[in-house]
Amino acid sequence: MKKSLSEQIPVGKITTVKIGAIMPHIRYEKFSTILAKTNYSLTSGSSMTPKAFSAFLTAHPIVVTESKDETNTRYTCVSGLRSLNLAKSKLGVDASVSVISLKQPHRDDINFLISADVIFTHLLFNVKKPETLGKIFDSIETGIIKELFIDGAQKKTEFANQTSYAYNTLFPKKPQDKI
């Protein structure tokens, strides 16, 4: 008996697809109002270098299903919606990206994947304390910062401007030691 995705690691192939050919699964509509009001720390990928954005898509891939008719192949996003939306805004609909294509998953598995995508994107990738982002930024070597962020987003003040946080929130002053 075949195990569902909820009982095993999903199996798929990596393929290249035009971003404009990928449509979110209709199940995402259930969450559309909530997702539209989501306040992300970084609202777009505009401050990321192409190399950094490529690394991001490798770490957080777009997962699709394929369906074919006589003339077209349709791709439906079933996980990685945030990655898809960022790719559309950063690269445009005519660009191509690598995706993971699942072969004929069951409808229940698709619903499970979408629900997991929506809830765990926020639970696992949300930083509760903004100063943690500042500490992470400070911990990355300057050379890598220059590879991650475009000019105009590589300094602390520029980084703060790209996020939804004030500079002093990301990089609070350290208390002075009294002698």
Q: What is the pLDDT of residues 119-166, one digit of tens each?
A: 888 777 777 788 888 999 999 999 999 999 988 889 999 888 888 789
Residue 72 or 124, more confident: 72
Assess whether pLDDT exceeds 60 at residue 118: yes
Asked if residues 74 and 80 have their Cβ atoms less than 8 Å apart, the reply is no
Closest CA to 97 of 154, 46, 149, 53: 53
Asked if residues 18 and 93 have their Cβ atoms less than 8 Å apart, the reply is yes
Distance CA 101, CA 76 (A): 9
Tell me which architecture the domain covering 5-126 has in CATH. Answer: Alpha-Beta Complex (3.90)
Asked if residues 41 and 165 have their Cβ atoms less than 8 Å apart, the reply is yes
Give the pLDDT score at 61: 94
Q: Is 55 exposed, middle or buried (0-12, 13-18, 19+ CB in 10 A)?
A: middle
Distance CA 67, CA 74 (A): 5
Q: What share of the chain is helix, strand, coil (3-state, %, to 5)?
A: 45, 20, 35
Assess whether pLDDT exceeds 80 at residue 3: no
Provide mean pLDDT across the span 12-40. 88
Domain with CATH 3.90.1530 in the chain: 5-126
pLDDT tens profile 142-152: 999 999 998 88
**What is the pTM (predicted TM-score) of this model?**
0.79
Asked if residues 102 and 7 have their Cβ atoms less than 8 Å apart, the reply is no
Q: What region, left, alpha or beta, does residue 152 occupy, with left being phi > 0 and alpha being psi -120 to 50 degrees?
A: left
Asked if residues 117 and 27 have their Cβ atoms less than 8 Å apart, the reply is no
